Amino acid sequence: GAARASTRLQTVPSALSTTEPLSERDAVTGYNNFYEFGTDKADPARNAHKMEVRPWTVRVEGLVGKPRRFDIDELLRLAPLEERIYRLRCVEGWSMVVPWVGFPLAALLKEVEPLGSAKYVEFVTHYDPKIMIRDVLDWPYTEGLRLDEALHPLTLLAVGVYGEALPKQNGAPLRLVVPWKYGFKSAKSIVTIRLTEKEPATAWNKFAPQEYGFYSNVNPEVRHPRWSQATERRIGELRKRPTQMFNGYAEQVASLYQGMDLKKFY
């Protein structure tokens, strides 16, 4: 038979990768949160095929010197694609080790020249009521970072996973990955990136402000009001592991929060 066209992405390895064993590909691509396609973990893999991811435009706007629209294929050539193996800790208490493919968000922000007045970055994701659910959250899903968090070298715009383009259920064609924060900060299928002066509203914070704060840093010492965050279960394992401060990335990111009360800014 004809050889299958290779869909491998060209990548360079990253010094920022963890050396822990990867989670199973089937778990990463089959056990998902992408509520627009349903609230069951298997729903996104079943339903996300309805989403068209080409053509796809990402607008970068707000407090920038050079607002621009980028075609997704332009974005794929913006910077060398890296393979970044990161721990992902979900607020629900499970974790995975995922080999993302992407480039630093900082490389994109540099292109648009943030103004001195820009303090935050808002992410708005794709919403199409014809193929996505209408209830649960106030759509479109939005997320936000402080500008210094957005510019941190660990903050990744992912376009692939396991060496290939992102499956739709993982947020094709472009999703955020912020490894020291709970997984819900990693907005999927991004269409707008907006630099702002004020802290942007976020979908989960609007839904339950006392449960989901703006920062959402992984923190074993700050409980979710309904459960402890001190331990986690790595998908594929039975025993529980202790959750690490900033998901194990404290050395790289703790300085961003110096002097802040992380119980108050959860």
Answer yes or no whether residue 125 interacts with ligand MTE by CB under 6 A: yes
Looking at beta carbons only, is 63 or 81 nearer to ligand MTE?
81
Closest CA to 137 of 202, 183, 213: 202
Q: Which is nearer to ligand MTE, 60 or 63 (CB)?
A: 60
Q: Is 202 in the site for ligand MTE (CB under 6 A)?
A: no
* Residue in this structure with the two tokens 């053509």, named with its chain if needed: 55
> Smallest distance, Å, CB 41 to ligand MTE?
9
Measured from the CB of residue 170, what is the shortest distance to ligand MTE in angstroms? 4
146 touches 260 (CB < 8 A) = no
Q: Which of residues 129-158 bind ligand MTE (CB under 6 A)?
A: 141
Residue from 217, 157, 214, 147 nearest 191 by CA: 157
Shortest approach of ligand MTE to residue 232 CB, angstroms? Answer: 12
What SS3 class is residue 160? strand
Pick the stretch among 26-34, 104-112, 208-216, 220-228 that binds ligand MTE (CB under 6 A): 26-34
The DSSP secondary-structure symbol of 69 reads E
Contact between 163 and 105 under an 8 Å Cβ cutoff? The reply is: no
Choose, by CB under 6 A, the member of 120, 162, 180, 184 that binds ligand MTE: 184
The reply to whether 162 sits near ligand MTE by the rule CB under 6 A is no
Which value, to the nearest 10 degrees, does the dihedral of the CA atoms of residues 181, 255, 159, 75 take?
A: 140
105 binds ligand MTE (CB under 6 A): no
Residues 6+ apart with CB under 8 A from 34: 43, 44, 48, 169, 170, 171, 188
* φ, ψ for residue 218, nearest 5 deg: -60, 125
Q: Which of 11, 14, 32, 217 binds ligand MTE (CB under 6 A)?
A: 32
Smallest distance, ligand MTE to C-beta of residue 137, A: 7
- Cβ neighbourhood burial of 133 (10 Å; 0-12, 13-18, 19+): middle
Tell me the window of 69-77, 78-86, 178-186, 214-222 that interacts with ligand MTE (CB under 6 A).
Answer: 178-186
Residue 196 binds ligand MTE (CB under 6 A): no
Chain residue whose CB lies nearest ligand MTE: 183
Applying CB under 6 A, which residues contact ligand MTE? 32-36, 90, 125, 141, 170-171, 183-184, 186-189
